[in-house]
Amino acid sequence: MSGKINQVEVIELGDRSKESSSPWSSTMLLVRLTTDDGLVGYGEAPTTFSTLSVLGSMKEVERIFNGADFFNIEHNMDEFYRNSFYLTKSFQDTAALSAFEIASWDLIGKSLGSPVYNLLGGKMRESLRAYANGWYSDCITPEDFVNAGRKVVSSGFTAMKFDPFGSSFDHLPEEGLKTAKAIVSSLRSELGEKVDLLIECHGRFSPRYAMKVAEAMKEFGVFFIEEPVHPEMEHALPEIRSMNVPVALGERLLNKEDFSRVISQGMVDVIQPDITNCRGILEGKKIAAIADSFGVQVAFHNAFGPVQTAATLNLDYSIRNFLIQESFDYFWPEWKKNLVRSGYSLDRGFLKLDGKPGIGVEIDEKILDEHIVDGIEPFDPAEPPWVVSNTFSRAPRFQ
């Protein structure tokens, strides 16, 4: 069986006139692949402070996939690898390639009349436990976090991730650590032991301060701490793990070789590949298999849009070592929430695919057309693009 891609469209989406979401959520990059017989497949690439550079790389990848047989994923991926000299180090290239890979799987599933998870080995489970992220916009004080956390729990979630470190970066002053502990302590006291707390560090600390964070979080029984050190300081991770607080990371790793290194060298308890930047669904399946052979669980990173979410859920269904799935769904801007008409559901803290062919989503073309934009994403010099809105710029500056 074969199928030829005869049209490639790279689409940037956004809504700057009404935008209130976190900066990385303000734009989306999609690729739409169309075949000779009219099948349409969608893939998504991440945008964090890189919208135009990723878009440019998508134009490069287009030259490989346009006219290619979408069934030949391994061949098409290898053809780009052969031509892209910096692929192993380039987030822009791996992000662009991932979008085309995901769209190819969407086409394969639709061509065969099967959801992608059936082509990856079938379902290991019927539904997927989710944790909420993006829920703490404008939260600064412990009271802010508790009030917002109550709403998250009332919607059915039993796990939530958050960054309690305000404006701290690289080092963490004692007052900043004290505030972070107060936030986590207040949430633990209010929500009880039945709600899992996941601590996001955003890769912002040097090793000395990351170890202070790990020591401070131990008493609260946190589910894991994510990216406790700057990504280039991964050598400190085994020592941080020795403090008996689970460590998670992976959204900045670009391929199975990167993951093999951190897993085999005992740097991590939970991996978080992002299939929109680690070369897509098939590479994600391989990464999960490597992790499984070391007894490491998988919690895929998933911060961008519903096409990414649907593609990721297909993998979640099919891997043995699934742990939990990140969800921003309730906290996206409205246009992004409504971009897909159907495909998956989030109910009482659990995600579930509808079982439709391909990755499973039906795009609302009207909303897509209304939100096509051209240009760079917003920039706020007072707040990095990777934080949840107004949790950095409005936080106290501790010396």
Residues contacting residue 118 through CB under 8 Å, at least 6 positions apart: none
Q: Could you read off the pLDDT of 245-270 as tens digits, one per residue? A: 999 999 999 999 999 999 999 999 99
The active-site residue out of 202, 230, 235, 371 is: 202
Residue of 75, 230, 301, 371 with catalytic role? 301
Write down the pLDDT at residue 378. 82
Looking at the chain, list the stretches that DSSP marks H as alpha helix, in order from N- to C-terminal side: 51-65, 73-83, 91-112, 116-119, 142-154, 174-191, 207-217, 237-241, 256-264, 281-293, 306-318, 334-337, 365-370
What's the rounded Cα separation, in Å, for the pair 144 and 50? 31
Q: Each residue of 287-342: pLDDT tens digit?
A: 999 999 999 999 999 999 999 999 999 999 999 999 999 999 999 999 999 999 99
* Residue 229, phi then psi, degrees to nearest 5: -120, 160
Q: How many CB atoms lie within 10 A of CB 37?
A: 9
CATH architecture of 5-114: 2-Layer Sandwich (3.30)
Angstrom distance (rounded) from CA 310 to CA 281: 11
pLDDT at 18 over 70: no
Sequence-distant (6+) residues with CB within 8 A of 381 are none
- As a whole number of angstroms, the distance between CA 312 and CA 278 comes to 12
Count Cα neighbours of 75 within 13 Å in the Cβ-side half-sphere.
6
Question: Which of the following CATH numbers is that of domain 118-359: 3.40.50.970, 3.40.47.10, 3.40.30.20, 3.20.20.120?
Answer: 3.20.20.120
CA 200 to chain centre: 13
Over range 33-54, report the average pLDDT: 95
> What count of other Cβ atoms lies within 10 Å of the Cβ of residue 341?
12
| Per-residue tokens: 214 | 């790990």
CA distance 128 to 236: 32
Burial of 69 (0-12, 13-18, 19+ CB in 10 A): middle
Task: Give the pLDDT score at 190.
Answer: 97
CA distances from 116 to 77, 106, 127, 355, 357 (A): 18, 7, 16, 9, 7
Annotated active-site residue 202? The verdict is yes
For the four alpha carbons of 366, 372, 107 and 102, in that order, the dihedral sign comes to negative
On the question of pLDDT at 17 being above 80, the answer is no
CA 214 to chain centre: 23
Distances (CA, A) of 200 to 171, 223, 231: 15, 11, 14
In angstroms, the first-to-last Cα distance of the chain is 64
Summary mean pLDDT of the chain:
96
Mean predicted confidence (pLDDT) in 213-235: 97
Using pLDDT thresholds of 50, 70 and 90, give the confidence band for residue 24: confident
5-114 matches 118-359 in fold: no
List of residues 6+ apart from 101 with CB closer than 8 A? 43, 73, 77, 279, 280, 281, 282, 283
Q: Which residue has the tokens 């190819």?
A: 104
Q: Taken in order 49, 15, 98, 340, is the CA torsion positive or negative? A: positive
pLDDT at 21 over 70: no
* Residue 26, pLDDT score: 82
| 106-115, 281-290, 348-357, 369-378: least confidently modelled range | 369-378
The answer to whether 339 and 305 are in contact (CB under 8 A) is yes
What integer pLDDT is reported at residue 23 of this predicted model?
Answer: 66
Q: Is 171 a catalytic site residue?
A: no
**What's residue 218's pLDDT?**
96
Q: Which of 52, 95, 19, 56 is nearest to 336 (CA)?
A: 19
Residue 87 DSSP class? G
Per-residue pLDDT, averaged over 50-56, amounts to: 95
Q: Give pLDDT, residue 216.
A: 97
Domain residue limits, the chain: 5-114, 118-359
